[in-house]
C-alpha cells in the first residue's frame, strides 16, 4: 500500500513523489510542487539549514572560480530569502556583507540587510554605507518577474543586470569580481563587451544546481581593472 506524504503527494515505486490534484490548484502550481518535492537540492538545503536551494549555486560557483577566497566585503543584490548571504558568511565568517531585496528577510548574523528597491536612487549609497568600504565581490541573483513574453522578460532582466554592473563598477575595489544571473543565451553582446573592458576574465556558466529546464545562466567577471577610464 502506497504511503501518502504530508504535502499532498503520493510516492511511486521509485520513490518519486506524485502530487495529487487539488481543487483550486492550477496545473503549473501542481508541477511546481511536484518538482520541489523531488528536487534533491531542496531536500539538501533543508538538511543543511540553508534558506533556499540557491545556496548551492553560489557554492558551486565559488568552488569553480574561487570567488570568496579573498572577499572581505560582499554585496548581495536580490538577496531574499538569504541563501547566498548564508554561504558567504559560512565561508568568510569575518566578511562584511550588505544584502538588499524588496522582500523582507529574517536577520542573518554578520549581515547588514536592507529592505528596499535596488533600483531606487538611494540604494547604492545605502549599500556602500552598510559595506563600509569598496567591495571585493558584488553578487546579483536578481531577475525580473516574468510575464511569459520571452523578449520582454529578457529585456527586463538584462536591465537589472546592467544596473548591477554599473553599481559594481562604482563599488568594487581593483581585482574584485562581479557575478550576475542572466537568461539563456547569456548577457547581451554590448554588456559582455563592457565587462571585458572592465574585467580581465568574463565567462558564462550554468552551475549544476540550476535546474536543467531553467533558462538561467550566470556571468562571472573577475579581475576588476578599476573605476577609472579603461583603454579601448
Residues marked active site are found at 181
Q: Give the separation between CA 28 and CA 26, rounded to whole angstroms.
A: 5
- Is 101 annotated as a binding-site member? yes
82 is in an annotated binding site: yes
Q: Find the DSSP H helices in the chain.
A: 27-37, 40-48, 55-65, 83-91, 123-131, 150-171, 189-198
The pairing of beta strand 73-77 with beta strand 96-101: parallel
Backbone φ, ψ for residue 205 (5° rounding): -150, 150
Cβ(115)–Cβ(101) below 8 Å: yes
Does 117 count as an annotated binding residue?
A: yes
Maximum pairwise Cα distance, the chain: 70
**Residue 28 main-chain phi, psi, to 5 deg:** -65, -35
- Which residues are CB-neighbours of 51 under 8 A, at least 6 positions away? 45, 81, 82, 83, 86, 106
Residues at the annotated binding site for S-adenosyl-L-methionine?
82, 84, 101, 117, 141
Residues at the annotated binding site?
82, 84, 101, 117, 141
Amino acid at each position: 500500500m502506497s504511503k501518502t506524504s504530508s504535502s499532498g503527494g503520493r510516492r511511486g515505486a521509485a520513490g518519486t513523489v506524485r502530487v495529487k490534484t487539488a481543487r483550486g490548484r492550477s496545473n503549473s502550481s501542481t508541477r511546481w510542487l511536484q518538482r520541489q518535492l523531488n528536487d534533491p537540492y531542496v531536500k539538501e538545503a533543508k538538511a543543511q539549514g540553508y534558506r533556499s536551494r540557491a545556496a548551492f549555486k553560489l557554492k558551486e560557483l565559488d568552488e569553480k572560480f574561487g570567488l570568496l577566497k579573498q572577499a572581505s566585503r560582499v554585496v548581495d543584490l536580490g538577496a531574499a530569502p538569504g541563501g547566498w548571504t548564508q554561504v558567504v558568511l559560512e565561508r568568510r565568517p569575518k566578511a562584511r556583507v550588505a544584502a538588499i531585496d524588496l522582500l523582507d528577510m529574517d536577520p542573518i548574523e554578520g549581515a547588514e540587510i536592507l529592505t528596499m528597491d535596488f533600483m531606487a536612487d538611494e540604494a547604492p549609497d545605502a549599500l556602500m554605507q552598510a559595506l563600509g568600504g569598496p567591495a571585493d565581490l558584488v553578487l546579483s541573483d536578481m531577475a525580473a518577474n516574468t510575464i511569459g513574453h520571452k523578449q520582454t522578460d529578457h529585456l527586463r532582466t538584462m536591465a537589472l543586470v546592467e544596473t548591477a554592473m554599473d553599481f559594481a563598477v562604482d563599488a568594487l575595489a581593483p581585482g574584485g569580481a562581479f557575478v550576475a544571473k542572466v537568461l539563456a543565451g547569456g548577457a547581451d553582446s554590448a554588456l559582455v563587451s563592457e565587462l571585458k573592458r572592465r574585467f580581465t576574465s568574463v565567462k558564462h556558466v550554468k552551475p549544476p544546481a540550476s535546474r536543467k529546464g531553467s533558462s538561467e545562466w550566470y556571468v562571472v567577471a573577475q579581475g576588476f581593472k578599476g573605476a577609472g577610464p579603461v583603454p579601448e
